[in-house]
Amino acid sequence: MVDRLNVPDDTLFIGDNLEILRGVNSESVDLIYLDPPNNSGRIYRAGESTQARGVEFSGEWTQDDMRAEWLDEIEKRRPAMRHVIDTSQVAHGKSMAGYLTFLGVRLIELRRVLKPSGSIYLHSDPHASHYLKAIMDSLFGARNFRNEIVWRRPPSPWGTRRWGAVHDSILFYAGPGRHRWNRVFIEHPPEYWEKYYRYADERGRYQLISLIGRGTQGGDAGVEWRGVNPGSEGRHWLVPIRLLRRIYPEMDDLEQLTTPQKLDLLDGAGHVHWPTSGRVPRCKVYADMTEGAPPQDVIVNLGDLRRVERTGWPLQKPEALLDLIIRASSNPGDAVLDPFCGAGTACVVAGRLGRRWIGIDSSEGAGEVFERRLSHRQGRTGYRIARVPPERTDVS
């Protein structure tokens, strides 16, 4: 496929993302993650003793952000979005309408630069996520909504007389083309191992799973094997084929084998447990063979920044969260864009995973923090910092 991207690989732009995005070619990016400041009415400042000292950005929007030229553009290019902004002004107020105008005009550019097969993840907090979902529906189409991911972030100080607020929402839209989707796994929490991997032998910790399922099945799934005949009791053999594939990765004809042959292979590899009392064998699954759990739309155990990744940038996100998103929704060589990149978390992770990246942040401090993060921690220097928007090469 032709590479339409007109930005050199691995570029951090410092400047207003709207100006920079206007210079990026259409349909040239595979994955976008954006984490704009929340509309909290606060100024975010980095601590004095952190790497990001001196960095500050605003989380305050007002009626002034409902700029006439932005509203005109929204009205012209996405009339439905204009209705959402007007509704937010009635239901919530001018600050929310200003926030949505600021983001809406940028999201229109992001929609333009995203490939039809691309994915976009918009990180927001519960004060705005429902309005943003309506904005995203108006732009990407409700049919292309995939998930609202609830991410349990580190708790902020408890409010009084209400439930503790501990989550953000990440809105995931993809398509309309067939979008990238890779199977990814999340590490099980420690209590999982204690609950399920209760046995151990010289090879390590393991759990026992059933080799027999309810009901009869055609073929050889109900035949006798090593003196056990599940078919005679209305049951059938349940061979864990994915486990077998992991044990014998070199055998590409596993599917063609009979059920007793598959069971022989499992037993030969030491994965069948024969109980001392009773006759029904079970399957041993060792802890080092589990892939982890497929992530679901509630993520509870990836909230903390590791000490080594902390820069002090306000609202910095953990690399583990970006690692999951980038691996699930892009392939090596793909272009990943973060237009509010802050301390560069998405860019750092994208680079580590072999993706090309573009980061944009309006804060001057971004370059310094980024430099330190990439070159000191990862020994990488092959990236560039730019202050001038790129020139589109797909329009005359």
Ligand X SMILES: C[S@@+](CC[C@H](N)C(=O)[O-])C[C@H]1O[C@@H](n2cnc3c(N)ncnc32)[C@H](O)[C@@H]1O
Contact flag: residue 169 with ligand X (CB under 6 A): no
Q: Which segment (111-119, 287-295, 355-363, 385-393) binds ligand X by CB under 6 A?
A: 355-363
Measured in residues, the chain has a length of: 396
Candidate residues 362, 368, 380, 386; the one interacting with ligand X per rule CB under 6 A: 362
Window 253 to 312, contacts with ligand X (CB under 6 A): none
Count the site residues for ligand X by CB under 6 A: 19
The smaller minimum CB distance to ligand X, of residues 120 and 315, is found at: 315
Min CB(312)–ligand X separation in Å: 10
Backbone angles phi, psi at 57, to 5 degrees: -145, 160
Contact flag: residue 360 with ligand X (CB under 6 A): yes
Candidate residues 81, 315, 336, 350; the one interacting with ligand X per rule CB under 6 A: 315
Min CB(7)–ligand X separation in Å: 15
Contact flag: residue 101 with ligand X (CB under 6 A): no
Q: What is the DSSP code string of 249-318?
A: TT-TTGGGS-HHHHHHHHHHTT-EE--SSSS--EEEEEGGG---BPP-SEE-S--PPPGGG----TTPPP
Q: What is the DSSP code string of 75-136?
A: HHH-HHHHHHHHHHHHHT-HHHHHHHHHHHHHHHHHHHHEEEEEEEEEEE-TTTHHHHHHHH
State the number of CA atoms in the 13 A half-sphere of 201 facing the CB.
Answer: 11
| Nearest by Cα to 3 from 366, 395, 394 | 394
- Cα-based torsion angle of the residue sequence 123, 128, 129, 130 in order, rounded to the nearest 10 degrees: -160
Candidate residues 29, 37, 103, 114; the one interacting with ligand X per rule CB under 6 A: 37
Window 170 to 229, contacts with ligand X (CB under 6 A): none
The smaller minimum CB distance to ligand X, of residues 54 and 189, is found at: 54
Contact flag: residue 343 with ligand X (CB under 6 A): yes
Candidate residues 10, 35, 323, 334; the one interacting with ligand X per rule CB under 6 A: 35
Contact flag: residue 345 with ligand X (CB under 6 A): yes
- Locus of tokens 């339409």: 4
Contact flag: residue 50 with ligand X (CB under 6 A): no
State the number of CA atoms in the 13 A half-sphere of 47 facing the CB.
Answer: 8
Candidate residues 363, 374, 389, 390; the one interacting with ligand X per rule CB under 6 A: 363
Contact flag: residue 57 with ligand X (CB under 6 A): yes
The smaller minimum CB distance to ligand X, of residues 46 and 221, is found at: 46
Min CB(168)–ligand X separation in Å: 10
Min CB(338)–ligand X separation in Å: 7
| Nearest by Cα to 34 from 147, 151, 171 | 171
| Nearest by Cα to 357 from 332, 341, 384, 336 | 336
Backbone angles phi, psi at 82, to 5 degrees: -60, -40
Min CB(56)–ligand X separation in Å: 8
Q: Which residues bind ligand X (CB under 6 A)?
A: 16-17, 35-37, 57, 313, 315-317, 340-343, 345, 360-363
